[in-house]
Structure 1
Amino acid sequence: MKSKENEEIINPASGAVIMALGIFLYAAIDAFTWINHTTGKILTVSLIVLAAIIYKSLFTQLLNKPYIFAILGNPVHSFVIGSWVAGISVMSNVIVKYFPDMSVGVQGMMLINTLLWLCFLVNCFYHFNEIMKRPTAHSTHGVVLLSTVATQSLVIFWVKVFPSLPAGLLIAVMSLGIFFYLIGMTLIVLRYARGNPWTMIEDWTSTNCIIHGALSITGLAIVSSQLMSGMFIMIFWLIVFVLLISVELMEMVRAVKRIQKLGWKKGVFTYHISQWSRNFTFGMFYAFTITMHKNPHYLNAFYDFHRGFLHFWAWIVFLFLITEIGLWAGSNGYHFERITRGNVS
């Protein structure tokens, strides 16, 4: 029997695992013709089982007052709850894709998820207000943009499953997500531009990839609802693409610096839960681009470029995902070995 000291505490950001795996099954998997529909169904069932384990642990820990106070008491870290909302939303879309007969049950699950999102909104407004009081006093990073990700993830599901929803509601919720993005980005810029001195190695976090990921999911919400013109979405896609290149170039600089200081293993091949956010953002950019590419309403000057880019980007999404799964498996293998040795000794 485990003592309280030895009990495993699941990381509150674990919803990002479901987000990353789910977005691959939702979009990029279709680029690999050797993965057939039956395999997709098996992987979806596996995702559901994994999500059940993760969310059971997350919601069980909510009964632990010190645990929930530790999350909600940190203005920046509290935004990880957005990964719970987005994880359920992405998984719901995957279930509807592979098991359309389960749509009614998924709608019930998403009703609960919408209630969770409403609670999360209270957290967003409260903690954004707290951070804005002293913006340079907090180490604000990309995790605050999960406010946008969670909000737009609901819109994408609503558009797919509830096509009769009024356009006004969809525009209002999407606008709220964009509002959160503008606040979050302002706070991130202030943190790095006017806050305490920082270094690329120590202070630039993996979650900053959500800078482009939050816009990608916003783009997918816009394209799915068809509420904007083709010209608008073409310009919007270009902005997201430029941000993706810019942020990931910074990540490459950070990786080089970490390798020089820490070596390959500790520098780039050590597992951390925040790394799943990159898999999600890469997968979401693919989902945004492929949905735009396939919709005749959005035929544009980038059409031919998208066709070649999507073949390349699907492999980027796949290879990064396999690498992350490998890092996760390796870290858990090491953890298991360490526990086993401890028990033997």
Structure 2
Amino acid sequence: MAFQGKKLINDPNDVVTEFIEGLVETYPGLQYLDGFPEVKVVLRADVSSAAYDKVAIISGGGSGHEPAHAGYVGEGMLTAAICGDVFASPPVDSILAGIRAVTGSMGCLLIVKNYTGDRLNFGLAAEQAKSEGYKVETVIVGDDCALPPPRGIAGRRGLAGTILVHKVAGAAAAAGLSLADVAAEAKCASEMVGTMGVALSVCTLPGQVTSDRLGPGKMELGLGIHGEPGAAMADIQPVDVVVSHVLNQILSPETNYVPITRGNRVVLMINGLGATPIMELMIASGKAVPKLQLEHGLAVDRVYTGSFMTSLDMAGFSISIMKADETILQRLDAATKAPYWPVGVDGNHPPAKIPVPMPPSRSTKSDEVKSV
């Protein structure tokens, strides 16, 4: 039986506006564009198009995936994020306003998830910006590994792997590379990453009823980030089994989603979908790393675990695997002020964690006690 979802909100129509207000109050380096709330653009407070001398990195899409994408605005990552309504592509006028606000002489790169509305609106905005004299390049990210060929009507969907592409592009831009070179690195990164998700519940849109599509004891495999149905439904299994299935799907040589083979170096992202406890995400990471090493013959160089691209209050996680080389690792490790990029993951991952030896007891021997 469907029931009204519980949310700590005000008017359901104002959730995106009020989210952005809270975000910019929390992080001094973020600001919204004049014209807010009609134009929902979050940008670096220290950047103005007139003086900006690096390639601007712009992304965005529907809201409901927080912290994506506005939480990744900051030096070394995104220059601006365009926020649509919940699960709705941002309008052309907002995207164009964001391009004008942060794009200087070096031009801008648009990083767009592979959804029809996003591709259409960002594409129209890019063409308009070019007609105004701006240099604009676009990279489409479709990292989904759930849909078998022909991979759906619109092709592979853009999922959490997009965040890794943001980081690579943002670091390349911060290093002073040209627009063509930044776009080339972002495109290469987008082709090196694959993602697949699993969910235990369907998300609830603000002000809407909760769907009961998933019955008790069931989970969904290969779903998108908008609550759309997955590729398959199955009985809930131990996370060991789920992780093995997802890794096998992403790395399957038959589907050839990503160019990863035995002996390659990879980075791993375990991404919570909004209502998954850190404990469960860490369990998944702890099981995924040895499986990648022992069963797939891969060297795991970095592990990112947390909620990076959510689906409102969905319970579940996605796994992203990206083929790594020294350039990609350098970009991922580069400093950034984006508030939701994880800190403390910028060192080489050891092949095996060895426990620290237990320190010896410091109890004093009785014969060392001197009598007065």
Q: TM-score, normalised by structure 2?
A: 0.28
- The structure with the greater share of residues assigned to strand is 2
Higher-Rg member (1/2): 2
Query: Which one has more relative contact order, counting CA pairs under 8 Å at least 6 apart?
Result: 1
